A and B are shown apart, each in its own frame.
Chain A
Amino acid sequence: MKRLLTAAALVALAACSREPNFDDRSQIGPDPVLPKPQQFLVPPIGVSKPQGWSGGRTPHVPAGYQIKALATGLANPRFIYTLPNGDILAVQAAPPSGEPVKRPKDIVFGMVLGSVHNYPGGRPPKSRITLIRDADGDGVPEIQQTLLDNLNSPFGVSWVDGMLYVANTDGVVAYPFTPGQTTLTAQPRVLTPLPAGPINHHWTKSLVASPDGSKLYATVGSNSNIVENGWDAERGRASVWEIDRKTGLSREFATGLRNANSPVFYPGTNDLYVVVNERDELGEHLVPDYMTSVRDGAFYGWPYSYYGQHLDPRVRPQNPALVAKAIPPDYALGSHVAPLGLAFYTGSLFPQFRGGAFVGEHGSWDRYSPYGYKVAFVPFSNGKPSGKALDFVTGFIDPGKDTVFGRPVGVALDRFGALLIADDVGNTVWRVTPANWKPGAVAQPPKA
């Protein structure tokens, strides 16, 4: 009996080996190293205590730059958008409540992962959009006030031609709005509903307008890690939707993207890029999250496969015909870094970063030691990612990885070309400029 027990335990534990010597840098770039998938009794979990910023502490930037809080006291800021007149919208969101419990695991995970945003002195999240105006660019806003309140878990926002489009978790709504307005009382029109509850696992719907303004692109995340909530729950999900701005008619533009966020067109092109959170619980080093351009009608693997034809052992029934068509993404960012923000640098303050991508990495839970928790920079050449990503803004987590001060989400540029970062644990919008930079002065390019 004992022997049987030991044997069974060994069989189950055999798959649970750590890989301490794995080189994380090998999973950054177009062709990441992919170890064999593992299955666990308890998947890797590593979360640190959230604390927020205090005592003048800030994230770290390289020498030659400075970072300062542009706005504080926000309620879970997730996404930043700069209007044509330079006003900044900070989208804050409370996650939708009431996700049905299907398995005991849902209760346990809810407790473990739900705790990573709550700390004494932290603010309860609100679903609202705050308008921030720093017209003189000195980093101290003249106006910081609520523009829209009591929204339905919004994430994306985009302004086109007199209309402000807000991607709530259940659909895109449109408000008549002229930049310069500091209040907004008009009633919204529902442009297009998007898949939401009762199960609404990946609830962030982000949004961008096409360069000609005729179409909107909304991301819709999967409704599970790997279809454990059933196939019915995945209709219309794990995809990027194309929405006609005039009629609201919609279709799935690209599919197989588990949880895509921050769609952005590469400047001067019609190439649509997104950052994508890949699947969990296959190991610390699987599956690398990525940035990719998305093509019309293309399929990127989820749930059946990843990085082309690497099959996920957890999906039944399989779909070999679809897997054969799966396109590997352009650029891996590292396993479980949780990229949520993407902005191409088009400003003049950081000339050496022009044409490259800033990526807000919210940070991991499905690793033994936290990873991500930074803003990375991915160099581009000829409109394609090229070369290794580098860490640009760090210090969101302490070096011992015990305490999380903040977590970066959305990234954007203000009208001066400074980098803005939404921090949903620190409840802050951070602003990065060259050191000692003053608006109006000629920008001094910092040494790379």
Chain B
Amino acid sequence: MADQIPGDEPVRTGRRGALDALHAVLGAFPVAYFTLAFITDIAYSRSTNLQWQYFSIWLIVAGLVMGGFAILFGGIEWLIRRPRAAHGYRWHALLTIAAWLLALLNAFVHSRDGWTAVVPQGLILSGVVALLMLLAAGMSAFRWGRDAR
């Protein structure tokens, strides 16, 4: 490697980097699933086509499973990093956990039969959860960007 381009050196991130990556990859799933569940809920509420409702409940359950793992790895990261400047992610963590708990509530609402599985409580919960997830992801991205400077 004779001509190293400045700024393109391999970054040494260590073991924590692997946790970071796991957390980020797993965390992407609930962001996508919960957002999609809100969209499929809207589709159901406008069409009463039950296929959309089935999409919603599977998306919510899948989001809970993947989100659960993301929170687990995030928690391990936090335990390791606690002595240092992890507090910058406090809002990310709080929003994510709140979203996960509301999504759990939403899974029960979505397990009702028919219209009331979605309208109105399910639809509202899906919207709030999607909003919280996007906020949490945005905050995390913003913070990551600042830390990288």
Give me the interface of A with B, judged by CB distance under 8 Å: 1, 4-5, 8-9, 11-12, 39-42, 102-105, 224-230, 281, 312-317
In the complex, chain A residues whose CB is within 8 Å of the CB of B80 = none
Known: A12-B105, A103-B57, A228-B50. A313 touches B116 (CB 8 A): yes
B 51-63 binary contact with A (CB < 8 Å = 1; else 0): 1001001100100
Known: A9-B105, A12-B105, A102-B54. A226 touches B113 (CB 8 A): yes
Name B108-141 residues within 8 Å CB distance of A: 108-109, 111-117, 121, 125, 128
B 34-59 binary contact with A (CB < 8 Å = 1; else 0): 00000000000000101100100110
Say which one of B11-19, B66-74, B94-102 lies at the interface with A: B94-102
* B114/A316 in contact, CB under 8 A: yes
* A281/B54 in contact, CB under 8 A: no
Q: Which residue of A11, A104, A228 is within 8 Å of B113 (Cβ)? A: A228
Most chain B CB atoms below 10 A, which of A12, A102, A224, A226:
A12
Chain A residue, CB-CB nearest to B44: A316
Question: Number of residues in B with C-beta < 8 Å to the partner?
Answer: 26
Report the separation of the CA atoms of residues A12 and B111 in the bound assembly, to the nearest whole angstrom: 13
Most chain A CB atoms below 10 A, which of B111, B112, B113, B114:
B113
Give me 19 other A-B pairs in contact (C-beta within 8 A), A41-B105, A315-B114 excluded: A4-B98, A5-B101, A5-B102, A8-B102, A8-B105, A12-B121, A39-B112, A39-B116, A41-B108, A104-B107, A105-B57, A105-B111, A225-B113, A226-B114, A230-B51, A281-B112, A281-B113, A313-B116, A314-B114
Known: A8-B102, A12-B121, A102-B54. A313 touches B111 (CB 8 A): no
Chain B residue, CB-CB nearest to A2: B98
In the complex, chain A residues whose CB is within 8 Å of the CB of B109 = 12, 41
In the complex, chain B residues whose CB is within 8 Å of the CB of A103 = 54, 57-58, 111
Name B67-106 residues within 8 Å CB distance of A: 94-95, 98, 101-102, 105
* A317/B48 in contact, CB under 8 A: yes
Report the separation of the CA atoms of residues A359 and B61 in the bound assembly, to the nearest whole angstrom: 42
Report the separation of the CA atoms of residues A228 and B110 in the bound assembly, to the nearest whole angstrom: 11
State the Cβ distance, A230 to closest chain B Cβ, in Å: 5
Q: Which residue of B105, B114, B116 is within 8 Å of A227 (Cβ)? A: B114
In the complex, chain B residues whose CB is within 8 Å of the CB of A317 = 48
* B50/A8 in contact, CB under 8 A: no
